[in-house]
Structure 1
Amino acid sequence: MLQTITRIPVANYSNLKARAGYSIKIDDKEIALFKTTNGIVYALENRSPHPKGGVLSEGLVSGDYVFCPVYDWKISLKDGLVQAPDTGYVKTFNIEIEKDIIFVVL
């Protein structure tokens, strides 16, 4: 069975500021976009895995990590894994950039 891949344009690369989070919504999914200082764009579910949550797009970005604005959990932008001593993960989404357009791949 073939799985359908959908590329959804969500932002202009040139409009994203480094180390800032941006919230977008695709259907029922709320996704946070992050652009690091080295120009790489990541997309994660916009919710901390802590039981009380936290909006990740409001978190601080340092290197390839975002810090939950509520509990300061350190979360990898690359794979969504929460760093020790905390545990958990956040769903990540693939990104494609074509010309100046950022696409989230679902």
Structure 2
Amino acid sequence: MNDWVDIGCLEDVPRRGARCIKTPLGKIAVFRTADDRVFAIDDQCPHKGGPLSQGIVHGAQVTCPLHNWVFSLETGTAQGADKGAVRTYPLRLHQDRILIDAHSFAAATAA
């Protein structure tokens, strides 16, 4: 198996925004920061199920649009007094392409 799967172009994800990848087990949100770093996490907030891809990106964090929980895009952990975490997925950039780790992506897409 290839180690990395091409999931799209960097320009497809707006700066300080996100796009989603659909898998059989749910959505993975791919985020792009203001300085063009990319991160991938589960798209569902563990608090109330809010779509994190619709949240506000600030630095390497995203704020859930439903109840303002803040998650680190690097670790997936809730910040501040909030408790919980979302799964993260390793990404890398190759030229202008976003690649996701094939092994973690395969685990997310396994039915």
TM-score range for the pair, normalised by the shorter chain length? 0.7 to 0.9
How far apart are 1:11 and its partner, in Å? 1.3
Partner of 1:30: 27
The equivalent position to 2:71 in structure 1, one of 59, 71, 75, is 75
Q: Which of 38, 43, 48 is 2:45 aligned to?
A: 48
Look up the equivalent residue of 1:90 and give its one-letter code: V
SS at match of 2:53: helix
Distance in 2, Cα, partners of 1:5 & 1:30:
22
Q: Which runs of 4+ in 1 moved over 6 A?
A: none
Structure 1: tracts of 5 or more residues without a match = none
Residue 6 to residue 27, structure 1, CA distance change in 2 (3 Å): farther
Which residue of structure 2 lines up, in the alignment, with residue 10 of structure 1?
7
Q: Deviations over 1:20-52 (max 9, x none)?
A: 1111113434100111011100000011010x2
Distance in 2 (CA, whole Å) between partners of 1:5 and 1:73 is: 35
Aligned-pair CA distance for 1:6 = 4.7
Overall identity of the aligned pairs, in %: 32
Letter in 1 for 2:18: G
- Scaled by the length of structure 2, the TM-score of the pair is 0.83
Q: How many residue pairs end up in the alignment?
A: 102
Aligned equivalents of 1:5, 1:88: Cα separation in 2 = 32
RMSD: 1.5
Indicate whether 1:86 and 2:82 are aligned. Answer: yes
